[in-house]
Amino acid sequence: MVAPAQAIASRLSVNAGYDSLKDFTPVTLVATVPMLLVVHPSLPVRNVAQLIALAKKNPGALNYASSGGGASPHLAMELLKQQAGIDIVSIVYKGAGAQLVDHLAGRVEVAFAPAVGVIPYVKGGRLRAVAVSTKEPFPVLPDVPPVSASGLKGYDASLWQGIAMPASAPREAVNRMSGDLAKALKAPGMKERILELGGVVVANTPEEFSAFYQAESDKWVRVAKTANVSVD
């Protein structure tokens, strides 16, 4: 299994132990995992445009929670900051549990989080979802608009999970595995089950996943370097 972390690791760290781009043969993108941009209900914003306006009016006054280190929720917020030209201060936590506790308590105002993990708090009114990180709405919360619908054209950020093989894997084996995985992922009930776990099934070809993997690597390395993110 590979994820955004594997796609950028060796390009941001000398200690990765592998080459992010040369040591894998992408097989298929299993699923994307949308994140929600959530705010504490005390923050007077209900959409991304209002959040951007508030941040521009009060630069450096808002805080966002993440685990730092170039993780997807961290880089998703840095991408939003870069595209919107705003200053929201990163508060780094050692784990998702402590981050969530402080967010629910209002000690931090904003965060990106995997949708499935915060939906109960959104539905319970303890957090407010202002946007979903992917280009398309999340089927579980169809009324929550994408970030890109609020003026940040092209914004797209998600966790994702894919299958890769070693770079030396025979092409025949890669194609066979990709085909078998596509059949399994598109089998009755599988899409629904993965959606329950927070993912949206993709099941693309090795060529499509390879192009996606390269594009994701390039994008997030660029965002991380612009934000001076350190992973060592």
pLDDT in tens, 89-116: 999 998 888 999 999 999 999 999 999 9
The pTM (predicted TM-score) of the whole model is 0.94
Query: How far is residue 199's CA from residue 188's CA, in Å, rounded to a whole number?
Result: 16
Contacts of 175 (CB under 8 A, 6+ apart): 206
Domains and CATH numbers, the chain: 4-32+156-226 (3.40.190.150), 35-150 (3.40.190.10)
DSSP state of 141: B
Please name the residue that has the structure tokens 């089927």.
Answer: 139
Query: How far is residue 30's CA from residue 112's CA, in Å, rounded to a whole number?
Result: 22
Q: For 35-39, 213-217, 226-230, which range has the lowest pLDDT when averaged over its residues?
A: 226-230
In this prediction, residue 151 carries a pLDDT of 78
